[in-house]
Amino acid sequence: QDTFQAPDYYNIDDLLTEEHRMIRQAARDWVKRDVSPIIEEAAQKAEFPKSIIKGLSEIGAFGPYIPEEYGGAGLDQISYGLIMQEIERGDSGVRSTASVQSSLVMFPIYAYGTEEQRKKFLPKLASGEFMGSFGLTEPDHGSNPSGMTTSFVDKGDHYLLNGAKMWISNSPFCDVAVVWAKNEEGRIHGLIVERGMEGFSTPETHNKWSLRASATGELIFQDVKVPKENLLPGKSGLGAPLSCLDSARYGIAWGAIGAAMDCYDTALRYAKERIQFGKPIAGYQLQQKKLAEMITEITKAQLLALRLGQLKNEDKATTAQISMAKRNNVDMAINIAREARQILGGMGITGEYSIMRHMMNLESVITYEGTHDIHLLITGLDITGISAFK
């Protein structure tokens, strides 16, 4: 049974609006009802639970901040963050599906697409009728996407696309993929590739020990004819995909708090009930140190995310500020998962509790959307003015 109680040590709820709290509650109730009961089995079987797609759409997780005229929920950035937090409290893989759909597929179509593309794709993506994926990473270009080799050439009435993307969330079942590729001049553009186009395949990546309830795969393009109207005309260059990452990374900064809250809540509850040497283990200083540090770190992360949300709402958040929050909050969550796992002793390694699943999931979250190292280097560049990437 899902008995989760959300920690709010600094009364941060007082800083939210009534609407924020209602949106969060709807997402929280849905996670308790529709995600928690099935997610362990889905992760054990390494299957994405397609049954949750409708619910994700209903709680506004597909395009929370996309205007309602395109099927989005038309919410502010703090609402978006709160929804991601609640979903990741359930599972990082489910949040991945929502992040990709919203920030990496709907956002570029909304921000850089034509009116026809918006009308054709956004309402179906918002309802979950279409599922999307985002192809930036390649086998030889992960942290350094500017080196990508996937390319397209102009064939008059269409583009011919060749190349391969790797580690792509949602790829095995996606209906559309926003793919980043270079033209003849080496300039990066976004193309909407649709399932069924000849030469386009999406093999699944198996044997993951992390994000097992999320489907990951490749996007392979062998002489794929992409209609010219499927090019996103609004922005080109690496800045186009990087701006999508800003939005997704912001959501992850909130999402990671959800995973951490679940681990903390589970560990606190267990520590108060588990008796060793005649008293609850919560009464021993070593366990109190772990729990006290957890709630301190969660509280700091909550404040960081909320302030970043305010800046996002004012359109003032910088890429470097987003990097700091993604890096800090995911690191916070993975450390809490590891400590919480120890508090549960042997029980912590079983699927009876969510902690080990969160811990393994967070190993992907700390790597994707820019690794822990890359985000540190983004901060380093921002404060010194000197790039240490190259």
User: Does residue 131 touch ligand TGC according to CB under 6 A?
Assistant: no
Q: Binding-site residue total for ligand TGC (CB under 6 A)?
A: 25
Site for ligand FAD in 207-246 (CB under 6 A): 211, 216
359-387 core/surface letters (b: 16 or more CB in 10 A; e: else): bbbbbbbbbbbbeeebbbbbeebeeeeee
Residue number of the CB atom closest to ligand FAD = 142
Extract the tokens encoding 335. Answer: 């450390």
Count CA within 13 A, CB hemisphere, residue 243.
17
248 binds ligand TGC (CB under 6 A): yes
Segment 363 to 382, residues that bind ligand FAD, using CB under 6 A: 364, 367-369, 371, 373-374, 377
- Is 49 a binding residue for ligand FAD by CB under 6 A? The answer is no
369 catalytic? Reply is yes
Partners of 135 in the β-ladder: 179
Given the residues 218, 297, 339, 369, select the one marked as catalytic. Answer: 369
Number of chain positions touching ligand FAD (CB under 6 A): 22
Candidates 17, 51, 143, 276; binder of ligand FAD (CB under 6 A) is 143
Between 272 and 372, CB nearer to ligand FAD: 372
Residues 180 and 275: their CA atoms lie apart, in Å, by 55
320 touches ligand TGC by CB under 6 A? no
What is the rounded distance in angstroms from the CA atom of residue 249 to the CA atom of residue 370? Answer: 8
By CB under 6 A, residue 389 contacts ligand FAD: yes
Question: E-assigned strands of 100-157?
Answer: 132-135, 151-154
Residue of 168, 263, 281, 298 that binds ligand FAD (CB under 6 A):
168
Site for ligand TGC in 162-221 (CB under 6 A): 169
E-assigned strand segments in the chain: 132-135, 151-154, 158-169, 176-182, 188-194, 200-201, 216-227, 275-276, 279-280
By C-alpha distance, which of 328, 308, 325, 303 is closest to 11? 303
Q: Is residue 251 near ligand FAD by the rule CB under 6 A? A: no
Query: Pick from 136, 213, 259, 332: which binds ligand FAD (CB under 6 A)?
Result: 136
CA distance 220 to 200: 6
Q: Is 224 in the site for ligand TGC (CB under 6 A)?
A: no
| Cα–Cα nearest to 138, from 123, 120, 150, 121 | 150
**Distance in angstroms (rounded) separating the CA atoms of residues 380 and 335:** 23
Residue 142 CB neighbour total at 10 angstroms = 17
For position 96 contacting ligand TGC by CB under 6 A, the verdict is yes
Residues written for the chain: 390
Q: Which is nearer to ligand FAD, 134 or 152 (CB)?
A: 134
Residues contributing to the site for ligand TGC (CB under 6 A): 96, 99-100, 134, 136-137, 143, 145-146, 169, 237-239, 242-243, 245-246, 248, 319, 368-370, 374, 378, 389
Residues contributing to the site for ligand FAD (CB under 6 A): 100, 133-137, 142-143, 167-169, 211, 216, 364, 367-369, 371, 373-374, 377, 389
